[in-house]
Structure 1
Amino acid sequence: MIRTGLAPRQLACFALVGLGVIAMAQTPLRGAEASQVKIENFTFAPKALSVKVGTVVTFENDDDIPHLVVANDGSFRSKALDTGDSYAFTFTKSGEYPYFCALHPHMQGSITVTP
């Protein structure tokens, strides 16, 4: 077995012949689901996202200016996200979570959380 610096929950198995690697198998991550919303060109992508309870949603700013992600009901609020910054929130209750950018209110999105 060769250690490769993979995340602790990942396991890699290598079969070596001579100096070359023939095969690699990797187990999937376990635990909470994860999902991502990209912020780019003054939009949230995807604009609407459906996830299960317990999912961690990460908002990542790929725009060249700051954005601030805020739930309409106040259940989550990021700090100002500069280019390359991200904010993660774990959805622990089912429901609809519309959100917007507090710096650019025309930017809107929605997360639907199901049991």
Structure 2
Amino acid sequence: MWQAALRARLAPARACAVFAAFACFTPASAAEGGKVDAALRASPQTHVVVIEQMRFNPPDLVVNRGDRVVWVNKDLFPHTATAASTAFDSRSIAPDGSWPYVAKRPGRYPYVCMLHPTMRGTLTVR
């Protein structure tokens, strides 16, 4: 019985607390929260391009600015990942070696292996 009386006394205080919480939640704070959510979703990711059997896999890759791309050479001989625009150049990647690159500028970057020009890929940075 005393619990019911206590609940009845506390009900107005709870209502005030709930109202205060909603009063503090304005569209501006919602927008800021949206920015935080977007920032969390946009945190840099790492993508892997495997070099194997004289191919880049995947041959076409789309990443966000700030993402890291790592080319991993699983072939028996060296390869490069060299952008036609000179945006990036791995130089020689030894067998079982790798080369990391952070995508900085948006654009479409076709690239080749300078040692095996039939090997082609495209990196697109959003």
Q: TM-score, normalised by structure 1?
A: 0.71
Answer whether contact 2:82 2:91 (CA < 8 A) is retained.
no
Q: Give the alignment's Cα RMSD to 1 decimal.
A: 1.3
Name 2:89's counterpart in structure 1.
Answer: 77
* Distance in 2, Cα, partners of 1:93 & 1:73: 12
Query: Match for 1:46 among 58, 73, 78?
Result: 58
Q: Displacement of 1:93 after TM fit?
A: 1.2
From the two aligned structures, give the one with the greater strand fraction.
1
State the alpha-carbon separation in 1 of the partners of residues 87 and 65 from structure 2: 15
Across the two proteins, how many residue pairs are aligned to each other? 85
Aligned AA (1:63)? D
- Tell me what 1:64 maps to: 76
Q: Which amino acid aligns with 1:88?
A: P
- TM-score, structure 2 as length reference: 0.65
In structure 1, distance between residues paired with 2:112 and 2:91: 13
Q: 5+ residue gaps in structure 2?
A: 1-41
More helix by share: 2
Fraction of identical pairs, as percent: 34
Q: Give how far 1:69 is off.
A: 1.2
Q: Could you tell me how far apart the structure 1 residues matched to 2:76 and 2:55 are?
A: 12
The whole-number CA distance in structure 2 between the counterparts of 1:92 and 1:77 is 14
Instruction: Write the deviation string for residues 63-109 of structure 1: whole angstroms up to 9, x where unpaired.
Output: 00111110110011112111110011101111101100000000000
**Does the residue aligned with 1:57 lie in a helix, a strand or coil?**
strand
Partners of 1:81 and 1:39 in 2: CA distance: 10
Unmatched 5+ stretches in structure 1: 1-29
- The separation in 1 between residues aligned to 2:105 and 2:80, in whole angstroms, is 22
